[in-house]
Every structure is written in C-alpha cells, then in structure tokens.
Structure 1
Amino acid sequence: MSTTDTDVGGAITLTADELDPFVTHAGTRDRLTGPGLPCDGALLAFDTLREHGLRTVADLAGDADKLAGELRDRLVVGALRSLDRDLESILLDGTTGEVSSAYVRRDPVHLDLAPLAPSLDALLSFAAATEELTLSRGGPGPFGPRTVAQVSDRLSAVFEDAAGAEVPPYWRMAALIRPLARIAGPGEGLVLGLPKRLLDEEFGAGEIMRFEDVDFPPALTHEPTRRFLRESGLPEDGFLFQLDTEMPLPPLTEYYADEHPDAFSAGLLPPAADRLIRLGPLLEDTSLVMDGSTGAVLAWSEPDLTLRPLNADISTLAFTLWLLHREKTVDAAHHLSDSYEQLAATLTQTLATVDPASCDRTPALPGDDGRRHWPELFEDRSVGMLYA
C-alpha cells in the first residue's frame, strides 16, 4: 500500500482517505487524522510515516504469501528508539487499535509480536510519562532511593491504568529500571554524589574496597577521585569489572614494567601513560584506567592499542556497576531478560541519562573508533551479561 503523510503543526497526520481501508478503529482514526503522532521523541520514532506513509507488514515481507493472515495487514507506523538508532518496528492493528512491536526487517515471515500498548493514545502517554519522570536530570532533583521508589510506583500506575495487570515487558522494565537514574544527584567535583553506603548495601559491606592515601600513586592528583576512593570505594567484584587488590594502584607504565615487561615497549602505550592509573581488568586484554589529573575513566585495549572513553569519572563508574548489579536482582524477580534486546536498550538509555559520555560513540581520543564498552556489552546477547 502506498500512501503519503502530511506533517502538520509539528505532528504527523494522515487523511481519512489514506487510512482506508486498513484503519477502521474509530479511536485510531481520530488520533491519526486529528492530533497525529509526534515528529520527535526519545523513545518513539514515527519517521517511517513521514517518509513512506502507511505500509503493511505484507508490503515489507519478501515472501508475503507465507505470512499468517492476521499479520499481513498489520501497519508499520514507527519504531522504538535507542540512543542512536531504531530498534523494533511499531505495528498497529487497524481493526482493534492495539499496538505491538516486532523486528520486521529481520524476518517478516516469522514475526514474533510483543505487546506494546492497547492503543496509540496509551502508547504516547506511556512514552510521555517515561520521558518526564526518568529521562531528564535537569533541575535540583529530587534524587535518592525514596525518589527511585516513588518514580517507579508512579510509572507503574500510569501503565497499569491503561494496560491492566499485564503491563507489556518494555514498559514494565521502564518502570523498574529507568527510575534508577534518579538514585544520585550532582556530586562535589564529580558527576554524582552517591548516597552513603549505597555500594555497601548493594554488594555487601565486606565486598567494598576503600583506599588509603598510601595506596595512591603520585600521579593521582584529582582530589575528588581520591576522596571517592577513600570514602565510598569500589566493589572488589563488580561482575563486569574486577578490582585489582593485589598491588597498590599503579600507573600504566609501572604496571607493564612490573607485570608484563616483555608485552609492550613504552612507545606502544597511550600518550601520558604515566598518569593513567590502572584499577583492574575489564576483559582479559582490556584494562580499566583513570586519568590521575582529570579523573576521567577510560578503557585501554591491548589488541588494538586504543584508549577509549568508558565513564565520565569514578562516580559514574560506580553507578554503572551498581546499575548492573541491581538489574540482576530485578531480573530475577521479573524476568526482564526474556525481552533481552529491549532490556539492553533500556539499560543503555538509563546509563546515558546519568553519564552521556559512556554511551556517546563520537570519537573523542586519538585512534578512538567510537566503540563504547558498556552499550556493546549490554547488547551482546551471545555473552548474556544481563541474564540473572
């Protein structure tokens, strides 16, 4: 089906003729011919309507004859959004008004539909509530564990009012994961001021390593980082990061000279390696380091001799480790990882809300190719890091 859409007053609308004969649901027709759909959004994108008009799944399927009859006329109206790309397509049932999602581009013949909302109106209200309550960290707050719980409850109420007890997985994880971005407000000299004992309560008090001044090399001059390591510390086993507790924190030059004297010549190490302080391994061949003068947290990859941004500073590194540990607990109770790719996108968006640099693929250092450790790790289903 070939149609054209009209962009009116900042919204994408369709005429009644363009909806015929595929959209017969009265409320859906009122939405699409009246207020329409928003042009821009952090969670939802409807660019496909502007570019192509209404299309059915059958229009996109290479072998439409093999499609189940009830799927052929589902309308592709948009896509769920991650930070820098579209995820699943948003599909509309023109008869009932119900909205679902699926990876149409992968294999339209074997669509795996996931419920998304009972109507377009509900879908837009779900996205608006999520963006309002969780995606913005502007202003004075509030922040903290109580705020996280309150935001989660408010989102759950919005979703349940429209969808009932069976809230679709995408919005269930929005209510349970995205509010975690509100756990901490701005810090003094650091991005975040984590609540006291947040890491102790999450990982166990005996699992947190706190440092003394004697542990700090002369290259670590960034006082907010020193204070954080003394007062808050880091988990020894952050699941995706192992803190090296066998030696005082070494600059990268000393680490290789003492532990791997034959591995690299000084000329192969990154610039200013003498002020890059190694905290431990991220992967077998990748080290987590921090710039002793600025506090920036970076990933040093031995195979490609590349230094890449990892986190803005030590506070957002700690938040990332806390977020991943918390996700395990939530998943064990609610089975969010059954919708793995949606969960990966939700975690990436949550982390980016707190620490944009950790997910921004814009090259920032010499040789930086834009790869970012945390989003790639979340998205790698073969590794399965998000399963409880």
Structure 2
Amino acid sequence: MSTTEAGFPAITLTEAELDRYVTHPPTRGLLGGTGLPAATGLLTFSPLRTHGLRTLADATDAPFRVADELRDRLVIGELLNPAGMDRESILLDGGTGELTTAYLFDPSRPRPRPFASSLATLLRFAAVTEELAGLRGRFASLADRYGPETAAEATRRLLSLFEEGAGGEVPPYWKAAALIRPLALAAGPGTTSGLTLDVPARLLDQEFGHGRVVRFEEVDFPATLTHEPTRRFLRETGLPEAAVLFHADTDVPLPTLREYVTEEGADDSSWGELPPPHADHLIRLGRLIEDHSVVVDGRTGAVLTFTEPDATLHPLNTDVSTLAFTFWLLHHERTIDEHLGNELTTEAYDQLAAAMIHTLSAVDPTGTAPGTDWHYWTEMFQDEAGGVL
C-alpha cells in the first residue's frame, strides 16, 4: 500500500495486495491507480490505510450475524457520522465492486444496506454532495440564494445526479442527503435581523399554517428582555404555537424563569435547587417534552433548555432565529417522510438522524460547540425508539 500527495492524500494498493481479495477489474484499476482519498466530508477510508484489505469476518471479533456469503465483504472505510453516533462501516464486494454499509459491532443492526454500485459512483456521489455544501460546481448558481424554493431546487439537482448514477434506485443514505441537507438553504444569514438567520415570517406561516404562529406584543415582554433583535423577532416573526416536541407559552406575558419556578416548582419537593441568580434574565418561551423548558437569555439572545426538576441549564440554539428554523426543519422532515410513505424512518433512521444533525449544525453549531456536553436536539434526533423524526 502507498500514500501519495497530490493536493489530497490518496490510498493505493499493490497488485499483490489486490490479488487475494479483488477480482472486479474497474475496482482493481481504481484501487491500484488513482486510489482513494483518505477522507471526504462524508466518509473516510482511513481503516484501509490502517489495516489494509481485510474481510468482514477478519474485522469482527465475534461472528457477524449476516448471511455467510457476506462475510467475505471487504471493510474499506467508515461514514463520518456526527460526534457521539456509532460509525457505520463501508463494505466492498471484491467480485462485483458493489458497496454496502453495516455496523460491525452492533448485533441489533446486523443487516448491510445498499450504498453504491461501485467505488467510482461512490466518489462521484460524495463529490457532488460536497459541491452542495460549498455551493460550487453544479450548485454554484445557488450561491447567495435562500428560501424554500432554493432548497427545493438544490434537492432536485442532487437527487437527479444520484438517480443518474444509481439507475433511478437511490440508496437510503443518499436519498436522505438529497432531501435533508439542502434544507439548510431555507433561511439566509442574518443580514437584517441582527440574529444568526433571516427567517421570513411567511416561512413559518406556510409550514405551520396561518393563525398557528404566535407573535408577541411589547406588553408581553418582561423588562429583563433587553436584547432588541430577539424582541423584534418575537414580535414580527414569532414561533409556532405547537411544533414537534414544542408548545409555546401562550399565557402572556412571558414569565421569567424565576417567576416560572416560583409558581410551578416551589411546592414540588421533587424539584432540585432553584435556578441561578441570573434567572431573572431568562425568559420562558415554552416547553419541550421530557420536562424541558425553552428559555432565552434576555441580555444576549442565547436560547437554552431548563431541565425540570433538576433545575439545570444547557445550550439549545444560538438564538430565536435558529430555534424557529429547528422547528421548521423538524416539521418539514416529517412532511417529506410522510410523502415517501415513511421510507426514511423505517429504512434508514440512523442515517436520517445524521443528516438532520448535519443540517442543523450547518446553520447553528450549538450542538457541536466546545464544552457542550449535552444537547437536546442531538439527543432527540437520535431517539429512534421515541420516533421523534
């Protein structure tokens, strides 16, 4: 095996290394010629560099509970899932060049899933997905364009490229990428709002329905809500009255966290310590399932969860614009999957969750910020048993 440097490191294999495992001519040509990049933004071939070619049987310490004919598949890489998620391995059939994915050490998820018809196809799929992320190449014309129409156009282009390379049968991983990752374009950067995103009021109205978005008045705000961009957003754009996992506080005026705890928790012995002194500057916007309140810091606009009854605070979103975008993203994902007959949630829930986490992180890195040891959205997206997505 050798590694070459030509802009990006490449992993190549010798004829002797290939002879034992790979008989498919195009695959042999690629692995012995131009080679594979060590990593892309979506996946890594570093296991191939570390271990060389090895079969699924050799890679697992215990019997891998799949059909015997799959035990000769070659483990060549891994999907780069968000931090905290198990990595799914990429398996190569040395005779046909076909690629599948599987979890090597999770007996509850033993079934390999289709991934790509060949290494060349896989590299093309990864390349065009990265073009989308950078709004370059075939997506360059979408640069500086935002809104649901732009997101839909990006999905159409990416899905079309995948269909061309998959004979119309797009594997679940790539279908999730095409349907979910472009949703990051639904709202543009906050050039006028003073927040992370410029979220048009119509975006929420169209998604949740007219009359189902709560917009507040000045008299609804406590004096400690001094962050003007947050006040303006809550007045003009608002939040959905009810969304996946969320119900807004419609009994106005909005209470501070201290007022909420005093009223709701003072007589409940199961509640922990009262919130910190700055609780007067935290304003409750609504509730999430699993005994969490959504609060906004009236001084900075940062959005947090307040966990009941242990009275702990954790970062949730950068501000109310990305909070609203998260509600929109969750609701829109459910609409997409229902249109597909729940194909994504039944065939590739974990891959869908990874795409959702990536999409949210693209506009709001709160969940991946240094020092964030727990993040509500990240945990909920991965909750397959709870059926959040």
Q: Give the structure-1-normalised TM-score.
A: 0.91
**Post-superposition offset of 1:20:** 1.8
In 1, are the aligned partners of 2:64 and 2:110 still within 8 Å (CA)? no
Q: Distance in 2 between matches of 1:130 and 1:363?
A: 29
Q: Residue 110 of structure 2 aligns with which residue?
A: 111
SS of residue paired to 1:242: strand
SS of residue paired to 2:286: strand
Unaligned runs of 5+ in 2: none
**Post-superposition offset of 1:104:** 1.7
Q: Residue 33 of structure 1 aligns with which residue?
A: 32
Unaligned runs of 5+ in 1: 365-369
Letter of the 2:80 counterpart: R
Q: Distance in 1 between matches of 2:80 and 2:260?
A: 42
Q: Distance in 2 between matches of 1:147 and 1:116?
A: 27
In 1, are the aligned partners of 2:64 and 2:104 still within 8 Å (CA)? no
1:91-170 counterparts in 2 under 5 A? 91-107=91-107, 111-134=110-133, 141-170=144-173
**Post-superposition offset of 1:42:** 2.3
Q: CA RMSD in A?
A: 2.3
- Decide whether aligned partners of structure 1 residues 65 and 166 sit closer, same or farther in structure 2, where only a CA change above 3 A counts: closer
Letter of the 1:350 counterpart: T
Deviates more, 1:134-143 or 1:47-56: 134-143
Letter of the 1:143 counterpart: Y
1:246-285 counterparts in 2 under 5 A? 246-263=251-268, 268-285=274-291
Q: Residue 367 of structure 1 aligns with which residue?
A: none
Q: Distance in 2 between matches of 1:254 and 1:69?
A: 63
SS of residue paired to 1:383: coil
Q: Distance in 1 between matches of 2:264 and 2:219?
A: 20
1:363 pairs with 2:371? yes
1:231 pairs with 2:239? no
Q: Distance in 1 between matches of 2:243 and 2:383?
A: 18
Q: Distance in 2 between matches of 1:270 and 1:54?
A: 55
Q: Distance in 2 between matches of 1:234 and 1:65?
A: 48
**Post-superposition offset of 1:68:** 2.9
In 2, are the aligned partners of 1:236 and 1:245 still within 8 Å (CA)? yes
2:4 to 8, 13, 34: 8
- Decide whether aligned partners of structure 1 residues 378 and 135 sit closer, same or farther in structure 2, where only a CA change above 3 A counts: farther
1:373 pairs with 2:381? no
1:197 to 186, 198, 202: 202
1:343 pairs with 2:342? no
Letter of the 2:332 counterpart: R
- Decide whether aligned partners of structure 1 residues 65 and 241 sit closer, same or farther in structure 2, where only a CA change above 3 A counts: closer
Q: Residue 322 of structure 1 aligns with which residue?
A: 328
Q: Distance in 1 between matches of 2:135 and 2:81?
A: 15
Letter of the 1:144 counterpart: G
Q: Distance in 1 between matches of 2:354 and 2:106?
A: 18
In 1, are the aligned partners of 2:314 and 2:374 still within 8 Å (CA)? yes
SS of residue paired to 1:27: helix
In 2, are the aligned partners of 1:42 and 1:83 still within 8 Å (CA)? no
Q: Distance in 2 between matches of 1:17 and 1:271?
A: 69
Q: Deviations over 1:355-383 (max 9, x none)?
A: 111x216325xxxxx11110110101111
**Post-superposition offset of 1:61:** 3.4
1:219 pairs with 2:227? no
Q: Distance in 1 between matches of 2:273 and 2:114?
A: 55
Letter of the 2:56 counterpart: V
1:352 pairs with 2:361? yes
Aligned residues, how many? 375
- Decide whether aligned partners of structure 1 residues 78 and 303 sit closer, same or farther in structure 2, where only a CA change above 3 A counts: farther
1:290 pairs with 2:283? no
